[in-house]
Structure formats: C-alpha cells, structure tokens
C-alpha cells in the first residue's frame, strides 16, 4: 500500500463526507500492508459527537480482527487527531499514526508515535473551504 494510494482512499472518503455535509476528515487502518478499515466523520449522520473518522475506523478494525488490541496496526488520518481520538487510539494499541494536516500547532503535544507526512492531496484546503462555506 503506497502513500499515494492511501491518499487516494482518504480523498474518496473525504468526498463522501462532503457529500453528506460532514466535516471532511477520513481515517484508514492498515495491517500487514492491507487496509482493514476505513471511515469518515459521521457526527451529523449519527448525531453522535464521538463518531469521528478515527473512532469509527477503530471500531471497524476491532470487529474485523475480533480483537480490541490493534497491535501492528497503523492509522492514516487526513487531519491530526483531536485529544479524544488520541486517547482512544492509545487505548486501541495502534502503534503508529500518520497524518497530513496539523491541528493548532501550539496545542500539539509531541508524541513519537505520531508523524506528520506531506501529501500531494490538499486536505488542508478542503477542510478550510468546508468551514468557510458553512458560515
């Protein structure tokens, strides 16, 4: 699974989120080089503030692996996870998290398991546009 393909998958999910008027954030979990779950933000659809892309993807991965310990799993997420998701990611035992867009830089605590990677897809602009259009 190359980064380019992961970006493409994330972008597809983000377009779905936009279609349903959800905040365009997507997450993918990979194990042994294969996608085991993917999700986009569904807070409005489910009317549940916990339904962030990261958490939905974790729930799907647990179901698929029949194991709540997501060892050897890697998460790719378009935006750096919020504090709630970071806590849940930690509990899930996911070992590495890669994200493409930073949250507010000052609030970001340093965690060696989190790595920012550069993308060819402009996830940041998609997010900004979404919030501008909502006003």
Q: Which is nearer to Zn ion, 30 or 42 (CB)?
A: 42
Q: Which is nearer to Zn ion, 78 or 119 (CB)?
A: 78
69-73, long-range: CB within 8 Å, 24+ apart, which pairs?
A: 69/93, 70/29, 70/31, 70/94, 71/95, 72/31, 72/32, 73/29, 73/30, 73/31, 73/36
Given the residues 7, 22, 54, 80, the one annotated as active site: 54
User: Residue 123, SS3?
Assistant: helix
Active site residue 22: no
Q: Taking CB under 5 A as the criterion, which residues in 42-61 touch Zn ion?
A: 52
Residue 32's region, left for phi above 0, alpha for psi from -120 to 50, else beta, is left
**CB 39 → Zn ion: shortest distance, Å?**
11
**CB 32 → Zn ion: shortest distance, Å?**
26
Q: Which of 18, 62, 65, 82 binds Zn ion (CB under 5 A)?
A: 82
Please list the active-site residues. 54
Binding site for Zn ion (CB under 5 A): 52, 82, 85
């Amino acid at each position: 699974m190359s980064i380019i393909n992961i970006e493409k998958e994330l972008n597809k999910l983000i377009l779905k989120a936009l279609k349903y008027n959800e905040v365009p954030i997507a997450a993918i979990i990979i194990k042994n080089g294969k996608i085991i779950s993917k999700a986009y933000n569904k807070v409005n659809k489910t009317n549940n503030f916990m339904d962030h892309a990261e958490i939905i993807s974790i729930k799907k991965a647990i179901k698929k692996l029949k194991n709540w310990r997501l060892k050897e799993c890697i998460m790719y997420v378009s935006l750096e996870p919020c504090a709630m998701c970071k806590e849940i990611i930690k509990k899930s035992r996911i070992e590495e998290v890669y994200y493409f867009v930073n949250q507010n830089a000052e609030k970001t605590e340093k965690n060696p398991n989190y790595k920012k990677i550069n993308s060819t897809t402009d996830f940041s602009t998609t997010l900004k546009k979404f919030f501008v259009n909502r006003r």
